Amino acid sequence: MPYLLKPDAKIAVIGAGPAGSFFSYFALKKAKEKKINTLRVKIFDYKKFAQSGPKACNLCAGVIQSNFSQKLLEIGLELPQEVIQRKVSGYIFHTSRGDLELPGSSNIYPIITVYRGNGPLFFSHMGNISFDDALLNLAKSEGAEALQALVIGLEKPALDKLPRITYKIKEKIFEEEFDLIAGAFGLNTKMLGKIEGLNFGFRSPKMRRAFQTELHLGKEFIKNLKGEIHIFALGIKGISFAAFIPKEEHCTLTLIGNKDLNLNDLQNFLRHPKIIDFLPKGWKIPEYFCSCQPWIAVSPALKPFFDRLVIIGDANCNRYYKNGIESAYYTALFAAETVLGFGIDRVSLEKYFYTACKKELIIDNYFGKVFFILNSLIAKVPFITRAHLTLGKGNNKVSKIERRILWGIFTGAEKYRDLFFESLNPLLILNLLFYSALYLLKDLKNFIFKGK
């Protein structure tokens, strides 16, 4: 028998990032649809998003795809103008063998860039531009209560006993019982270890450290980018790809690697001739700049649910290397639908919540991983890189397929599975084989006759 949430239940949400705010919003909204006005949702987060710098920020590049902007509007979140840093006009893909431009469509919902906290350190703006704060306000507008507090402990939940969480406000410790706990604490937290320690089978996602920095490159430079996101896959050791994301005054530079990245990797990257060429002439990294080394998940968590406990957002699963905010939206929605519609026991959570997460995200990521492995290989083999670039620049049907696949991979706008099946198009494969063989022969000829 499913164990149902009581109408006057109290829910604790640990974390006020996208997963926590979306869950609180959906749970309260669904309760009202069922004519339940007594449900209480308390969100705990020690961060104050309206401050600047990494301490107040959820450490992300801040790109929001057009279809997700549309979803935000549909749930009633019209982002204040000052939150939107840039509208993205397209992507430019740079390799050591050439570049490929992928212009955006004229979609009425543009791709936008935002800051999760209130902008980087050493930033001159006034007011509040935090995306996460806007989301939290949405949850509050539905009736959620937000507490600036650090959760430091929780008891193993059980159906016959309300779990208690321990939290800290300034130096004072509090304890409180809840009917349900939603773990929306992301990856950069000790909470993962605490949940593993409850010994019900939860295992954290496998993670790597990305490196991210805010570069003050000057207004003229940002203006010349014309709202384009520049992605570099240069085959630099350890770095799978890097993206320059234009904001109002800064460019966010995100490095994603096949190992944990650090400051040395940033310096190596900035020394690459293509990057020196791309940056303003004579630009040097300043003595002080805003940077962070956030964890990024490369696999899903195991068993992100138990009786009276549901883990959502990054701490559960997200789309491989893409659109984590949208993934948080989905896991939050599935969790709210399950706890309000089906039950809060482990069987109901597995049957409805976890199955939906697997269908939407976890299975699709297997296809995503194949694409990213292929991308790394392509970036390392010059004649295959050139074959892809030549095909991507053409104007025929096959070139359009190649561009659509690349666009889908960069933006995360389409499911990896759909892109994978599209990439099996026989004409596309034949063309790639043809151009690869052509460039391989050219390279061999150059090597034999000119010695290079």
Ligand X SMILES: Cc1cc2nc3c(=O)[nH]c(=O)nc-3n(C[C@H](O)[C@H](O)[C@H](O)COP(=O)(O)OP(=O)(O)OC[C@H]3O[C@@H](n4cnc5c(N)ncnc54)[C@H](O)[C@@H]3O)c2cc1C
Please give the residue ranges that form the binding site for ligand X (CB under 6 A).
14-20, 44-47, 58-63, 150-151, 184-186, 188-189, 191, 210, 212, 254, 294, 296, 313-314, 318, 323-328
- Smallest distance, Å, CB 157 to ligand X? 16
The tokens describing 262, both together, are 């650090």
- Collect all residues with Cβ–Cβ distance below 8 Å to 362 and sequence separation of at least 6: 300, 317
- Smallest distance, Å, CB 393 to ligand X? 26
DSSP 351: I
Count helices and strands (H / E) in the chain: 15, 21
DSSP 155: P
The tokens describing 299, both together, are 């696999």
- Smallest distance, Å, CB 63 to ligand X? 4
The tokens describing 22, both together, are 């979306």
In the complex with ligand X, the residue whose CB is nearer, 61 or 349, is 61
In the complex with ligand X, the residue whose CB is nearer, 45 or 402, is 45
> CA–CA separation, 75 vs 72, rounded Å?
5
Instruction: Map residue 241 onto helix, strand or coil.
Output: strand
- Smallest distance, Å, CB 311 to ligand X? 9
In the complex with ligand X, the residue whose CB is nearer, 46 or 283, is 46
In the complex with ligand X, the residue whose CB is nearer, 45 or 307, is 45
In the complex with ligand X, the residue whose CB is nearer, 52 or 189, is 189
Return the closest-CA partner of residue 24 out of 332, 242, 439: 332
- Smallest distance, Å, CB 335 to ligand X? 12
In the complex with ligand X, the residue whose CB is nearer, 44 or 278, is 44
Residue nearest to ligand X (CB): 324
- Smallest distance, Å, CB 31 to ligand X? 21
388: left (phi over 0), alpha (psi -120 to 50) or beta: alpha
Instruction: Map residue 294 onto helix, strand or coil.
Output: coil
- Smallest distance, Å, CB 131 to ligand X? 10
- Smallest distance, Å, CB 62 to ligand X? 5
In the complex with ligand X, the residue whose CB is nearer, 279 or 298, is 298
Cβ count within 10 A of residue 280: 12
> CA–CA separation, 175 vs 167, rounded Å?
6
Q: Are 301 and 313 in contact (CB under 8 A)?
A: no
DSSP 82: G
In the complex with ligand X, the residue whose CB is nearer, 47 or 308, is 47
- Collect all residues with Cβ–Cβ distance below 8 Å to 119 and sequence separation of at least 6: 52, 125, 129
Residue owning tokens 């049957």: 351
Per DSSP, what are the bridge partners of residue 207?
297
